[in-house]
Every structure is written in C-alpha cells, then in structure tokens.
Amino acid sequence: MKRKAIILWFLVIASFLIACTDTQKLQQETDEQEKITPLVKDDDSIRIGFSMDTLLEERWLRDRDLFKEEVESLGAEVKIVAANGDDALQISQAEALISSGIDLLVIVPHNAEATAAIVHKAHLAGIQVIAYDRLVKNANLDLYVSFDNEQVGEMQAKAITAIVPKGNYVIIGGAITDNNAHLLKKGVFNVLRPYIERGDINIVYDQWTKDWTPANAKTNMEEALHTTKGQIDAVIAANDATAGGVIQALAAKGLAGIVPVAGQDADLAGVQRIVSGDQTMTVYKPIRMLTQEVAKLAVAMAKGEEVPAFQKVNNGKIEVPSVLLSPIAVNVHNIESTVIADGFHSSEDIYKDTSK
C-alpha cells in the first residue's frame, strides 16, 4: 500500500516536471520566433524610442514636444510614434522601433495589459523599457515614471467634498484599460468612503469612459442625468476632456456652473471653464518635470549607467522601480501662482475667451 502511494507520488511529480519543461521549451520556441533582430548602428549615438497611445488630447502634444526637447538637450535622438488608441497598431509600431535599432523604449500604453507583449519583445532584443505616465501591467518593466495618480483622485474628491459635503455624486471614470483610471478612482474613494459610510454622500452613478473621450463622457453624463432625474449635486470627472463632455451634458439641462465638477490635466479649456465658473477645479501635473525625469533616466539607462534606487509599484508581476511626482490642485484662486507662473498657459490664453 505504502509502495503504491510512493509510486503514485513519483508519477505525479514526474509528470509535473515534464509539463514544466514542455512549457519552458514552448516559451523558448515562441521567444525564438518572436525575437526581433535590431538594426546594428554604425555610430555611437543614443536613440530613444517613444511609443505613445494618442495625440488627441492637449497634454500629449505637450508631452511629445517637451520629451523630444529634453532628450535632444541631452545629446540623444528620439523617434516618436503614436497609435491613435489602437492596441495592435501600438504593438506593431513598437516592434518597428525595436528593429530600427533604438537603445531604449519609452512607452505610454493605451492598454495596460496588452502592452506587456511589447516589454517582452523589447527584452528579447536586449532593450529596456520605461513606462511613461501609465503603468504596463504584468510585465518585467524596467522603470515607471508618473505622477501620483491616487493623489490626483484624492485632490479631486477633497476639493469637491469641501463644497458639497452631502449629496448625490456622479463619478465619470477614465478608460478602464488605463491603470491610471483605476488609481484615480481609488484616490477618489479613499476620500469619499467615510462620507458614504456616514450616509452623507450617495454615489448615484459611477461609470468608466471608453478611451477618455469627451463624447463618451457626455453620453455617460446624459445617462446619469436621466436615471437620477437630474438629482445630482457634484461630479468627479477623471480628466478635463471628460469634464468637458460632462459640462456639455449639464449645460443642456441648465445645470452648468450649478453642479460642481472636478477634472484633471489643467487643459486650457479646463482652466478657462474654471474661470467662467463651469468647472470647479482641475489637477495640474507639470509635464516638463515628467519629461525631464524620463529623458534623464532613459538616456542614462541607454548608456548603461546605474540609476538611483526608486519607490516600488506592483504591476501584478513584479515590484517595478518607480518615480512618482507630485500633482497640484488648481481652482479659481491659484491659477496665477500655478499654471500661469509655470508658463504652462499664458494669462492671455486663459482669459481671452471667458467672460472675465
């Protein structure tokens, strides 16, 4: 009896080991097939690839231009591509960058999960990957540099609860495929939870916004207005683009400027709406700081230099070395000392189209 059990155990362990070896073999074969052979450079220049999700929003144009400026000021080159929110296109564009002989890849993922494939392929070609602003999940990412997105959500909820400590709240989230949208929501609920538990705040609508578009946010807000029969006291929108859609829907019901709305990014239109009274606040993230940090680290890593120890953020697979910068809450009282003082927007631009 005992011998039978030992044999049985032996067989179970042996078949487990064989299965593991088979999986490993299969992975090696797939890796071999997928492996991109990068072009060999004939000079010692440093080339950084920058794979962006989209250029549709105001902030990403700024990210693109400032990142190029920063990388070039460090004597390196940058190749930039944008995927228009298309996962397959982002993967093929990144593959093209890898084969073109870049030294390091910086990526703004459209889809936090889908882009893990890019990290894997870059590594097979011996190229390190930095996630820019948005985390790549479940990948052996080399570095993640962003703003503290949970803090962004906390800032939004603190600003709105200071004005509306009781009432019906609508949450217009970002894209479900973007890890930042989840972090923002986490931050928002960190602040709202005690209010909800006391029964002071009711979440009457809470929805993600596909691809963060104003049009989808507007549709969500119309649905929120419809299902609540307009009984809404405050809205937390994930960014200024979605806040724009929300405010259009509110305006159609004569509620713009009456229902407080939070956003993020300090987009020109968002700041103008704060001045005109249609939007309550935004969260300013100095993009120049982000581009400077990423450019500095990307060029150093591409040169094979040691970079300092970082914070860690878990991406579902590893603890990713990370740098998280601090966002700044902006309302009608500190526009001057924040976005204008920083040269993010000029006061002419901010005040030109508003009534003030």
Please identify, using beta-carbon distances, which residue of 95 and 178 lies nearer to ligand BGC. Answer: 178
The total number of residues shown for the chain amounts to 356
For residues 354 and 44, give the distance between their C-alpha atoms in angstroms, rounded to a whole number: 51
Q: What are phi and psi of 145, to 5 degrees?
A: -125, 125
Task: Mark residues 220-249: x for contact with ligand BGC by CB under 6 A, - for none.
Answer: -------------------x----------
Please identify, using beta-carbon distances, which residue of 142 and 265 lies nearer to ligand BGC. Answer: 265
**Residue 265 binds ligand BGC (CB under 6 A):** yes
State in angstroms the smallest separation of the CB of 58 from ligand BGC.
9
CB 49 within 8 A of CB 103: no
State in angstroms the smallest separation of the CB of 109 from ligand BGC.
9
Q: What is the DSSP string of 211-280?
A: GG-HHHHHHHHHHHHHHTTT---EEEESSHHHHHHHHHHHHHTT-TTTS-EE--S--HHHHHHHHHTS--
Number of residues that bind ligand BGC (CB under 6 A): 11
**DSSP 8-state code for residue 164:** -
Binder of ligand BGC out of 132, 212, 284, 344 (CB under 6 A): 212
Q: List binders of ligand BGC among 48-107 (CB under 6 A).
A: 57, 59
State in angstroms the smallest separation of the CB of 63 from ligand BGC.
9
Instruction: Name the one range near ligand BGC by CB under 6 A: 40-48, 85-93, 96-104, 173-181.
Output: 173-181
Q: Which residues contact 42 (CB under 8 A, 6 or more apart)?
A: none
Instruction: Name the one range near ligand BGC by CB under 6 A: 123-131, 172-180, 326-334, 342-350.
Output: 172-180
Binder of ligand BGC out of 95, 133, 233, 278 (CB under 6 A): 133
Task: Mark residues 174-193: x for contact with ligand BGC by CB under 6 A, - for none.
Answer: x---x-x-------------
Please compute, for residue 345, the number of CA atoms within 13 A of its CA located in the half-sphere on the CB side: 24
Q: Which residues contact 338 (CB under 8 A, 6 or more apart)?
A: 266, 284, 328, 330, 344
For residues 264 and 235, give the distance between their C-alpha atoms in angstroms, rounded to a whole number: 13
Please identify, using beta-carbon distances, which residue of 82 and 350 lies nearer to ligand BGC. Answer: 82
Q: Which residues contact 161 (CB under 8 A, 6 or more apart)?
A: 191, 192, 195, 201
Please identify, using beta-carbon distances, which residue of 142 and 178 lies nearer to ligand BGC. Answer: 178
Residue in 13, 298, 270 with CA at minimum distance from that of residue 132: 298
Please identify, using beta-carbon distances, which residue of 168 and 177 lies nearer to ligand BGC. Answer: 177
Binder of ligand BGC out of 134, 137, 273, 345 (CB under 6 A): 134
User: Footprint of ligand BGC on this chain (CB under 6 A)?
Assistant: 57, 59, 133-134, 174, 178, 180, 212, 239, 264-265
